[in-house]
Structure 1
Amino acid sequence: MTIFRLSLLFILLSHTVWSQDQYSISGKVEDTQGSSLPGVNIYISSLKRGTVTDMHGNYTLADIPKGKFTITVSAIGFHKVKKTIDLVADRKAYNFIMTEDVQSLSEVVISASRTPESRDELATTVTILSRDVIEEQMKITSNISDIMTSKVPGLAPSTGTSSNFGQKLRGRNFVVMIDGVSQSTPLRNGQLDIRSLDPSIIERVEVIKGASAIYGNGAEGGIINYITKKNYGDKPFSGSTDLSATGSLANINNTAGARLNQNFYGKAGKWSYLVNGTFEQTGEFKDAEGDVLPPTYGLGETNSLSVFAKIGYAISDSQKLVLSYNRYTTKQNTNYVQVDGDYDTRQKSTAEPGTPPGVPQGTKNNNLHLTYDHQGIYGNTSLNADVYYQDVENTFFWSDVFEFGGQSQIYSEKKGARFVLNTPHIFSENASVSATYGVDLLNDVTSQPLVDGRIWVPEMDMVNFAPFAQLKFSLLQNLILKGGIRVERITVKVDDYTTLRTVNPVTGEIDNPGIDVKGGKLDYTATVFNAGIRYNKYRWLSPYFSFSQGFSIYDIGSILRAARVTDMKDINTEASIVNNYELGLVSKFNKFRIEAVGFISTSKLGSSGEFKEGVFNILRSPERLHGFEGTVEYRPFHNLNIGGTYSYLEGKRDVNDDGDFSDDEDVYLGGDRIAAPKTTAYVKYAPIEKLNIYTELVHIGDRDRFSLNENGTYDVYQGPVEAYNIVNLSIGYQLTGSTAVHIAVENLFNEDYFPTRSQWFTRENLYTKGKGSNFRLGLTVNF
């Protein structure tokens, strides 16, 4: 509670400061489509005063005397605007509309770097999924993991299940966030975090790639930030209803599913609100042969419930409070038990009628989030302060790895507060600097007991204090320089515990007899940096380079539960720092937008794992990963969009730690880290105004880096990946101005395939085929 008291005190003090600032001008900057423009320079040359618009496009300039002045409004990619104003007592609000200076594609504004910036100001690789893209994808599937696979280069393919185990970003772990609040559980990574909310409440997705020093622990591969919807329009009451039905085309028996989404929103005076509820029930999921997919991590026969509410209050033109709540639950209600397959003979895992032991698999996510924004809290400085509470409960499948069997559950409870200040200074119309600085406070308590009360991973109580600062220089409207620093101070407390007796799946014998381990306290201190440069003078060539570091306490829970020593201080729980180097370019010409980037990611202390004789071991040797990503977008006509992506990744471990990754002893990283090459392509066509046709291809390539072991089989994580293709199609028709219908087919050609995880994992319990051809019929009504 101390964090929350300090947060409220900070907010109250900031309000006092604002109330003393009585002389200012303010306004909003939008583009010709009515969209807010953040990061726009507002400058009065005669006063040598300036500021930058916030994430909502608002600005405030304080202590401006009465009189006539010329305001210059400028931003990369837009025509400069100049307006002469006559500031009198009854006129202090000035709004601006900016037009793009060239035709461009995907000019999207993002906020994932903790301060509003246009996409063309970033010296790092970013993928943005707009609301239009999400809605187009949801006609095909409501599984956000599948949506991300088809749209995010560098993200490993979806597993087709509730778990994203092995679905890395550029070969490393990433942090999933909702409005900047982490949904991941890095202390004991259950890897169910991609599916932490229903996609119906997402306004856009921001994927920042490469090690991140912006958000701290666990983001060595990057950040996936889900930005939730906001209220649109000025009417007191509006809304929408979405209905859809699904089923298998390979074998429709018992596969019928349904989904209902209801959305209400409105604005009255200073208040705005949005309420969203979704219920989805899936039938049996079947593969291309019409056989029921196994229930382990299954998405079939599952009920999902999402409740989301957001209330906003505009204290003034420059201050706003927003309170949001999100609850997302899933529960599997299957009538099947799993029949393990056999990887060596390529016999798939199947399902047969029966009652699964234990309790149903499922997830529970609760998020309560209060945000306070104040533009011009003092001078030109803006404040974003928030407090949040989040708890996660993940229930996994029954496993015989425990003595007498059992089910594990991950519990994670987070309480946190963040204070972010942004101070811009405009030197001239062509030169400015912006400083973003603040502190993150977090208390995360995570454990993994069994349902029956036995403790597998003891409770880990982490306190994290992390001050940070970022600087951005804009010169000549074309050159952007960036740099930042973050200091991590983390303490993790663990009480004395006894390791759980577990069974070796290979020998059937007890491999951990139960060891009494003395707990204690783990202290971590690390300073991580980032720097970047981007040059935007030429439309056909906009290069950028960046260096960034990420800090990670690698899944301490999995290390503690496998302890073979009697004192926690003797376990290798050292943190890992990852270095990421990127060189990329963006090219825009005619109706094309092309982006290409090459990257190298290194770490002196790796975070790979291996199964040796049925026992999981952590490997901490140095690692180096490298890869390439490319994106192309083309709009030859106003009603035709064409695009695609390509991702390639490779990596090795320096086993003998001699700094050379080409020795015979050095080995490639397994499939759990390195994804096979991925190519995607899409076409969106509107032959008439009311009809939209969308089709996409996801191609997963081959990867074969390992040899058979002495037993003539592949070790876990080392199975070869054989290529496969998934084609999806959707057709939508606007019946009236407020009513639309759509039909879609997922896996249009009923590809019979094993997802990549089934191929490289080589374990019989997860040797599961992908979902066969599936249809979705939908109706949307707006009011």
Structure 2
Amino acid sequence: MKKIFSLLITVFISSLLYGQTGIIKGTLTTSNGKPAAHVSIVFEGTGKGTVSDVSGNYILNDVKAGTYILIASSLEFETQKTEVSVAVGQTTNLNLTLIENQGQLNDVVISAGRTPETIDQIPSSVTVVGLKTLQDNINISSNIATILQTYVPGLAPSTGLSSNAGQTLRGRSLLIMVDGVPQSTPLRNGAMDLRALDPAVIERVEVVKGATAIYGNGAAGGLINYFTRSAKTDKVINSQTSIATTGSLVNKANSMGGRISQLFYGDKGKLSYALSGVYEQTGELKDAKGDIMPPVYGLGETDSYNAFAKLGYKFNSKHKVQATYNFYSSRQATNYITVNGDYAKGIKTTAMQGQASGVPQGVKGNHNANIFFAGETGVANTTYNADFYYQSVDNVFFYSEAFVDGGVSRVLSKKNGARLVLNTPFYFASADANVTYGLDAQRDRTSQPLVDGRIWVPEMDMVNYAPFAQARFTFFDKLILKGGLRFESVNIEVNDYKTLPSKNTTTGVVTPSIDVRGGNLHYNPLVFNVGLRYNTSDYFSPYISFSQGFTVSDVGVALRAAKVNDIAKINTEAVIVDSYEAGFVSKVKNLRFEATGYISKSSLGANSVFNNGEYIVVRAPERIYGFELNAEMKVTKALKAAVNYSFVEGKADADDDGKYNGEKDEYLSGHRIGAPMFGANINYSILSGKLNLLLQYTGITSRDRFAKKANGLYNPFEGPVKAYNLFNSAIFYHITPATSINLGVENMFNEDYFTPRSQYTARNTDYIKGKGASYRLTLNIRI
């Protein structure tokens, strides 16, 4: 009886509370009268709110009587603030017309939770690089890995090469995606996935840092999601043409290159489209002394192609479909060969004319095809999105004498997948909530043969099913609780194979082949995440989170280096990363400041080291920690500035005693841990916007954690990194509103430096100077 009485009292109090509230609802439209879908509508100073549906409709239930400021923000539209009053028991209709965004960074993110949400609703650190930033930076460099290093704290320094080996995120491997389609090849990580497409077809980049449970294999350190261009217009035909010439400012001989990029896009009723083609050819790249940079993993004398198409169709106000295809290729065609330097004597590796053995290195072809459906289910305000995708990549590497009789390897990977994501909102008297849930299914077939047909890494056939669910609750307008689960069902099938004989390039000793019995590798982890954010005010919004990440360690490296006759005897156990993060955001007028600290642990590591002429995987426990600082400020209407700093450190528990301060415990190598780094940029607009200036700074500080060996040399990947400073600049002059001419200068003070990778690798073949001062002159025309 007491229980019944308590229940009645609860219902009565809830009814009284409900009676003190009202409702806000309305429709969001674009300037041309079309529905504005997936726009975040939140109360200022809180994380409470909702997201408009595909018809542009939204509703906010159980709003206490009073006057509020509603903020409507989206990736596609300019942020809009509106004052609205709510009366008890009444419904307030608020319809808004939004202005299309011209490319400025804003606060809506999709990758962190797989549905649109504002950064203020996410209890972890996320970085977004917007369209305008990308377009400005293409006038300096078309290497997306170099562009991102300046704007993403926590991302290790760019290698300046076609390979992004060592460019980790918070000291761990990261998952690269294009429109959510995985590009990375974690089964045999070739480290060429950051350059998966040309930056001209990227609309924005979202970087989610730290292990994430809502995505699958490969996201131990986080993820980078490239979102491709879409039509944002009410015109049927729009055109963007870009023509550029590039070259060295130190030694102009044979350094000239060219680039042409053409984009067509439009919107006609229910149909929208975007079509793009990009071709770029680079000349000889020169270092600060004017010497030709060596060709191994180089970007000099490289032909790059990108073909992109996207077609969208709206069946009605509640359902739409979108098909996307992208092809990217970037291969080197050079008449130079590498001349090894001497790391111990500080003599750089250079190049000389000659015909390289093997075939041109680089991305022979990366194909991405995706068909995407989105809309409303008609049940409980639930929205859905579903997609089917295909991705294949052929990455060709350089000629190596480590193979008997020499050879060139390639990573071949094909993925087929399907995903279903549902989102259902719930409303309570004191909280809003929504649940995102669904299923990912993927088949990944990856191998690493030699170009001549010899098998180095046999095909690994992975089938992965992963149901997941994630909920977000907003209490009392300010407190946000987020948590979720993901169950991985992974099976990797490997047929019987024979290891490839290898040769130690120093001693000449040949390791004979071994017959290895194949089999199936099974993984069934359950990973989860939970986070809390308290938006006390604009001045202070702290957050804390815990998340797990699952990754199958580089199985291919273990298989190709097998010393036993059965894969069941090879340590191929998966890595589970526990990531802890705490931080806060402060907003004071036009200043936004964020500070984040983190620790990630794994009881089983996957650190690749070079030992006796071959890569091996060390499976000792690991602990990585660090912090990031980021500040952005709109000084005046014409002047914007940003600065960031990142520090990361990590050690392996070699004696597995649960501590990291023993004599046998070692720091993780430079291949995993990037040197501390500063990034900064200043944007200044004058002459009523006709002239724009961009100045960038990247500062690499020193890292020295390892002792020399008895012979006076360092182990590979353990060399010290010395500090250096780089400055880039760009000037944009608008001849007319539709035509501009731009001049970008990379390494404008011609800093003479070795890249971090060439320093910590501590090998003669990799001891390469960074790129010297160079220019890029571009003409942009819009119609």
TM-score, normalising length from structure 1?
0.90
Q: Distance in 2 between matches of 1:769 and 1:424?
A: 54
In structure 2, the partner of 1:8 is: none
Q: For the residues of structure 1 that align with 2:67 and 2:384, how far apart are their CA atoms?
A: 24
User: Which residue in 2 is equivalent to 1:433?
Assistant: 433
Q: Pick closer, same or farther for the CA change 1:56–1:696 going to 2, 3 Å.
A: farther
Pairing of 1:444-483 with structure 2 (within 5 A):
444-483=444-483
Question: 1: distance between equivalents of 2:67 and 2:417?
Answer: 40
Contact 2:207–2:225, Cα closer than 8 Å, also in 1: yes
Structure-1 residue corresponding to 2:380: 379
Tell me the amino acid that sits aligned with residue 443 of structure 1: R
- Which digits, 9 at most, give the CA deviation of each residue in 1:730-754, with x for residues without a partner? 0001110110111111000101110
Q: How does 1:441-590 map to 2 (within 5 A)?
A: 441-510=441-510, 512-590=511-589
8 Å CA contact 2:51, 2:117 repeated in 1: no
Cα displacement string for residues 692-741 of structure 1 (whole angstroms, at most 9, x for unaligned residues): 01101100000001111111111111100000111001000111011011
Question: Which amino acid in structure 2 is aligned with residue 374 of structure 1?
Answer: G
**Aligned-partner Cα distance in 1 for 2:34–2:121:** 21
Which whole-Å CA distance do the structure 2 matches of 1:770 and 1:453 have between them? 35
Task: Name the SS of the counterpart of 2:163 in structure 1.
Answer: coil
Which residue of the partner structure matches residue 773 of structure 2? 773
Query: 1:60 Cα deviation (Å)?
Result: 6.7
For the pair 1:400 / 2:401, whether they are aligned, the reply is yes
Question: For 1:37-436, what aligned pairs fall within 5 Å after superposition?
Answer: 38=38, 40=40, 52-54=50-52, 58-59=56-57, 79=82, 81=84, 95-97=95-97, 107-112=106-111, 113-363=113-363, 364-428=365-429, 431-436=431-436
- Aligned AA (2:726): I
- Residue type of the alignment partner of 1:576: V
Within 1, Cα distance between the matches of 2:495 and 2:753?
46
- Secondary structure of the residue that 1:572 maps to in structure 2? coil
Q: Is the 1:348–1:769 Cα contact (8 Å) retained in structure 2?
A: yes
CA distance 1:372–1:162, shift in 2 (3 Å): same
Give the Cα–Cα distance (whole angstroms) in 1 for the partners of residues 157 and 512 of structure 2. 37
RMSD: 2.6
How far the C-alpha of 1:83 sits from its partner, in A, is 8.8
Alpha carbons 1:499, 1:561 under 8 Å: kept = yes
CA distance in 2: counterparts of 1:80 and 1:479, whole angstroms: 22
5 Å-filtered alignment, 1:587-666, equals 587-666=586-665
User: Are the equivalent residues in 2 in contact too, given 1:51–1:424 (CA < 8 A)?
Assistant: no
1:698 match: secondary structure: strand
Q: Report deviation, 1:107.
A: 4.0
Whole-Å Cα distance in 2 between the matches of residues 518 and 139 of structure 1? 52
Unpaired runs of 5+ residues, structure 1, are 1-24, 44-49, 65-69, 88-92, 100-104
The count of residues paired between Structure 1 and Structure 2 equals: 733
Unaligned runs of 5+ in 2: 1-24, 74-80
Query: d(CA) in 2 for partners of 1:76 and 1:314?
Result: 23
For the 8 Å contact 2:40–2:108, the answer to whether it is kept is: no
The residue that corresponds to 1:719 in the other structure is 719
Contact 1:206 1:225 in 2 (8 A): yes
CA distance in 1, matches of 2:681, 2:236: 38
Residue equivalent to 2:14? none
Displacement of 1:95: 3.9
Looking at structure 2, the residues matched to 54 and 583 of structure 1 have their Cα atoms a distance apart, in angstroms, of 30
Structure 2 CA distance for aligned equivalents of residues 316 and 560 of structure 1 = 51
In structure 2, C-alpha distance between the alignment counterparts of 1:75 and 1:596, rounded to whole Å: 24
Kept after mapping to 2: 8 A contact 1:605/1:622: yes
Contact 1:37 1:109 in 2 (8 A): no
Report the Cα distance in structure 1 between the residues aligned to 2:312 and 2:69, rounded to whole angstroms.
Answer: 28
Output the CA distance in 2 between the equivalents of 1:655 and 1:382: 49
Give SS of 2:252's match: coil
Structure 2 counterpart of 1:683: 682
- Kindly state the Cα deviation for residue 551 of structure 1 after the two structures are TM-superposed: 0.3
In structure 2, the residue matched to 1:707 is 707
Displacement of 1:616 in angstroms is 2.4
Alpha-carbon spacing, 1:427–1:32, altered in 2? closer, same or farther (3 Å): farther
Q: Is the 8 A contact 1:39 1:118 kept in 2?
A: no
Amino acid at match of 1:181: V
Q: How far has the Cα of 1:506 moved from its partner?
A: 2.4
C-alpha displacement at 1:663, in angstroms? 1.4
Quickly say closer, same or farther: Cα 1:672–1:605, change in 2 above 3 A.
same
Distance 1:610 1:193 in 2: 20
C-alpha distance in 2 between matches for 1:98 and 1:233: 13
CA distance in 1, matches of 2:58, 2:749: 56
Shift of residue 610, structure 1, vs aligned partner:
2.1
SS in 2 for 1:295: coil
SS of equivalent to 2:400: coil
Check 1:34–1:648 CA distance in 2 against 1; reply closer, same or farther (3 A cut).
farther
- Paired with 1:657 and 1:395, the residues of 2 have a C-alpha distance of 38
**Structure 1: which amino acid aligns with 2:557?**
S
Shift in Å at residue 500 of structure 1?
0.3
Q: How far 1:81 moved relative to its partner? A: 4.0
Pair 1:604–1:369, CA change in 2 (3 A)? same
Query: Quick one: distance in 2 between partners of 1:411 and 1:492?
Result: 16
Q: How far has the Cα of 1:426 moved from its partner? A: 2.2
Please tell me the residue identity of whatever aligns with 1:641.
K
Residue pair 1:742, 1:777 contacting (<8 A) in 2 also? yes
Residue 397 of structure 1 aligns to a residue whose secondary structure is strand
Equivalent position SS for 1:707:
coil
Determine the C-alpha separation between the residues in 2 that align with 1:719 and 1:594.
Answer: 34
Contact persistence 1:641–1:685 (CA under 8 A): yes
What per-residue deviation string (whole Å, max 9, x for no partner) do you get for residues 505-525 of structure 1? 221110x20000000000100
Return the alpha-carbon distance in structure 2 between the equivalents of residues 688 and 222 of structure 1: 41
Contact 1:42 1:72 in 2 (8 A): no
Cα drift, residue 72 of structure 1: 10
TM-score, structure 2 length as denominator? 0.90
2:413 partner letter:
S
Q: Give the structure 2 partner of residue 46 of structure 1.
A: none
SS of aligned partner of 2:525: strand
* CA deviation after TM superposition for structure 1 residue 323, in Å: 0.3
Change beyond 3 A, Cα 1:35–1:153:
farther
Q: For 1:383 and 1:110, how far apart are their aligned partners in 2?
A: 17
Query: Contact 1:577–1:603 (CA<8 Å) still a contact in 2?
Result: yes
Q: Secondary structure at the match of 1:560?
A: helix
CA distance in structure 2 between the partners assigned to 1:397 and 1:565 by the alignment: 28
Q: Within 2, Cα distance between the matches of 1:685 and 1:221? A: 34
Q: Is the 8 A contact 1:42 1:71 kept in 2?
A: no
Contact 1:263 1:274 in 2 (8 A): yes
- State the distance in 2 between where 1:369 and 1:757 align: 35
Q: 593-602 vs 30-39, which deviates more? A: 30-39
Call closer, same or farther: CA 1:441–1:232 in 2, change over 3 Å: same
Q: Kindly provide the amino acid, as one letter, of the partner of residue 781 in structure 2.
A: V
Cα displacement (A) at 1:26 = 7.9
State the distance in 2 between where 1:413 and 1:235 align.
37
Q: Is the 8 A contact 2:28 2:52 kept in 1?
A: no
Q: Distance in 1 between matches of 2:54 and 2:660?
A: 48
Q: Is the 8 A contact 1:593 1:632 kept in 2?
A: yes
Is the 1:697–1:725 Cα contact (8 Å) retained in structure 2? yes
Deviation per CA, 1:657-679, whole angstroms, max 9, x where unpaired? Answer: 11111112211111011111000
- Which string of whole-angstrom CA distances, capped at 9 and with x for unpartnered residues, describes residues 244-274 of structure 1? 1100011010000101000101112211100
| SS state at 2:488 partner | strand
